[in-house]
A and B are shown apart, each in its own frame.
Chain A
Amino acid sequence: MKENFSGRSRFVNYLVPLCLFAASWPVGRTGGALYALGALILAGLSFFLFRHLVHQINQAEQRSCELDEQLIQSQKLAAIGELSSGIAHEINNPLAIIGQEVEWLRHLFETSTLQEEKDRGEFSDSLKQISSQVDRCRDITHKLLNFARKMDPVMQAVELNRLIDDMAALVEKEAKLNNINIIREFQKDLPLVTSDPPFLRQVILNLLNNATYAIEANGTITISTKDNKDGRVEIAVADTGRGIPKEHLKKIFDPFFTTKPPGKGTGLGLSICHGIIQRVGGTISVISQLDRGTTFTIRLPIAP
């Protein structure tokens, strides 16, 4: 949308002074004026054409940069995923053995009569503590394995506007409490997209959740969809929140990167989004201005 608008207004910018100039030319010298006008229009047109070409080249360059970055990011994610699942696997085995030994100790303890009353209490507390810590470790390793797990997407027809609307409704009530408005700018005749619906729901929810967190209170989230007419559709989630500092922009898709206070965020949200969008053949990018807001843009292929 925005690009189209700025493109048109630039064209108008050249045309208006040209017309004004032509209109103010004295009537008596029509012949010369015609030549001059012709030359001017030609100059204007070629200038416009040149600007347009430069603009296109820049865009193409930017796109290839974006692609490079997406590639690096996905390689990084894959490496971290592999590493963490490797570690999780390695730790799971000794954990299982510790768990079994604890059970065995408990059994020995319960059948023995040798211990004094007060020793028994401590012994049993200690066993309980060990097994609960083992459970905790197991929980962490399972989460890591879950993060690394490569679930193949299941591609089916998706009514994107409807899917997004559902997720917005889920967020809306809580958002309203903090005076955050959700505005939907959906393109009406958006084509059906072939993608993985639950994956997309997860991504939209994550982005909406991040947006409400970034706004805290009093602001708007604008979700828009549009057909890019190049075989892709575009979803944008824009917020009027705190924005992202430049030095963070490169890190936000990294797993475990978070600016939330300890214990509040895992920093896995955006890396999960990135992984999902990659798997369904799309791209995700971000633009942000400090204290102004942030826009995440997803481009999805209409057919896989």
Chain B
Amino acid sequence: MPSFKVLVVDDEFDFLETIVKRLQKRKIDATGVGSGLEALKLLEETSFDILILDVKMPKMDGIETLKEIKRRWPAVEVIMLTGHASVESGMQGMQLGAFDYVMKPAKLDDLIEKMVQAYERKLLREKQIR
């Protein structure tokens, strides 16, 4: 397993706690925060490779957070998580530069596989720029 840092952003506390724990059990360096604003604040201090971002959050929703993150930290790869399937938000998310769109409840193995691919993309992109 390549080593990368993941930030999970979700306002549902139970979900957040469980997923961070399960990822850590798989030896993945995972952190969780409960809102888009907290995510932005944390990104100012710490760098992450991958963000798992819930689409539906109060105040600053996932799409808005994604926009801000891609503007300020374009190197971070973002995987959007959504509870209900919506074409509109899916198209928006992909157009704003998300790596993938995953429906809840996602299987942990699937999610991890997508993270590995997202991380591979991040490395490849860094190589291209250099």
Contact = CB atoms under 8 A, between A and B. Distances in A.
B85 A198 contact: no
A95 B98 CA distance: 29
Interface string A157-171: 000000000110111
Interface in A220-263: none
Interface in B87-101: 87, 90-91, 94-95, 97-101
Contact of A201 (B94, B121, B124, B125): B94
B90 A170 contact: yes
A39 to B, nearest CB: 62
A174 interface: yes
A205 B85 contact: no
A74 interface: no
Given A205-B91, A205-B94, A170 B124 contact: no
Contacts of A171: 85, 87, 90
B92 to A, nearest CB: 10
A129 interface: no
B103 interface: yes
A154 B100 contact: no
A205 B128 CA distance: 27
Contacts of B85: 169-174
Contacts of A122: none
Interface residues of B, number: 22
Contact of B87 (A152, A155, A166, A209): A209
A173 B84 contact: yes
A164 to B, nearest CB: 13
Which interface class (under 10, 10 to 19, 20 to 34, 35 or more) fits A?
A: 20 to 34
A213 B70 CA distance: 29
Contact of B117 (A197, A205, A206): A197
B20 to A, nearest CB: 23
A202 B100 CA distance: 10
B120 interface: yes
Contacts, number: 59
Given A154-B125, A156-B120, A156-B121, A198 B98 contact: yes
B99 A197 contact: yes
B46 interface: no
Nearest to B94: A202
Contact of A156 (B82, B84, B98, B117): B117
Interface in B60-86: 82, 84-86
Contacts of B86: 170, 174
A193 interface: no
Contacts of A209: 87, 91
Contact of A154 (B82, B91, B102, B121): B121
A295 interface: no
A46 B38 CA distance: 76
Query: What are the 4 A-B residue pairs with the smallest beta carbon separation, nearest first?
Result: A173-B85, A202-B94, A170-B90, A154-B124
Given A205-B94, A206-B91, 15 more contacts: A166-B100, A166-B102, A169-B85, A170-B85, A170-B86, A171-B90, A174-B87, A197-B121, A198-B94, A198-B98, A198-B99, A201-B94, A201-B101, A209-B91, A272-B95
22 contacts: A154-B124, A154-B125, A166-B100, A166-B101, A166-B102, A169-B103, A171-B85, A172-B85, A173-B84, A197-B99, A198-B94, A198-B99, A198-B100, A201-B94, A202-B91, A202-B94, A202-B95, A205-B90, A205-B94, A208-B87, A212-B87, A272-B95
